[in-house]
Structure 1
């Protein structure tokens, strides 16, 4: 497993995000904002998810590209979005979740 797939990637805008989503089969997107305590708390969780699942994990601050807020209807952070083969297949916007819950989200949502 390459180091790239075991660490969350950071992207700054919709174009970068689209590039990652289209070039990987399974992508977990962590939408966060700076200064958000729950977002900081979930960062090591998504790092763990990157290590133990097949998902490519990407972190993006939708405040840096407001088009993402509207495109993905982001109403709170952290919001986790799961993409499979370029399609949005799941959303978790329940505040902080532990590693086990996020791994189940990633593995339970993807198609068999």
Structure 2
């Protein structure tokens, strides 16, 4: 049985990044949210650390849910999405993968990308 993050059972978009452990976790987040920005990262990755405050503010300030996937702990999941380098950002809208961006991106660029799908 899964537990909703809110007491009333609603699926409000999380305002901070959600750490994903495995494909079922990611599938659930994608199913419960209209727009999901997934950050495939590694703890040892310098550019990933630079991107961290950006994805945190996007989680807080945009209608998108932000999922974080540690590629070292979730190698099969990263492989299934074709992640070859980190950071890789995968954007889902209405349950479908719509964008994939490799490397550090500016907050404004990511914000406008999310808003394009969040309408």
Q: TM-score, normalized by length of structure 1? A: 0.87
C-alpha displacement of 1:12: 1.7
Higher helix share: 1
Q: Which runs of 5+ in 2 are unaligned?
A: 1-5, 7-11
C-alpha displacement of 1:97: 1.5
The reply on whether 1:53 has 2:71 as its aligned counterpart is no
- The SS at the match of 1:5 is coil
Partner of 2:84: 75
Partner of 1:38: 47
Question: Kindly tell me: are residues 65 and 73 of structure 1, through their superposed partners in 2, closer, same or farther at Cα, counting changes over 3 Å?
Answer: same
Alignment partner of 2:105 out of 81, 94, 97:
97
> Which 4+ stretches in 1 moved above 3 angstroms?
none
Provide the aligned C-alpha RMSD in A: 1.9
Q: Could you tell me whether the CA contact under 8 Å between 2:13 and 2:63 is conserved in 1?
A: no
Q: Equivalents in 1 of 2:15, 2:79: separation in Å?
A: 29
Partner of 2:3: none
Q: Look at both structures and tell me which one has the larger radius of gyration over its CA atoms.
A: 2
Deviates more, 1:12-21 or 1:29-38: 12-21
- The SS at the match of 2:85 is coil
Question: Kindly tell me: are residues 62 and 100 of structure 1, through their superposed partners in 2, closer, same or farther at Cα, counting changes over 3 Å?
Answer: same
C-alpha displacement of 1:47: 0.8
> Number of matched residues?
109
- The SS at the match of 1:96 is coil
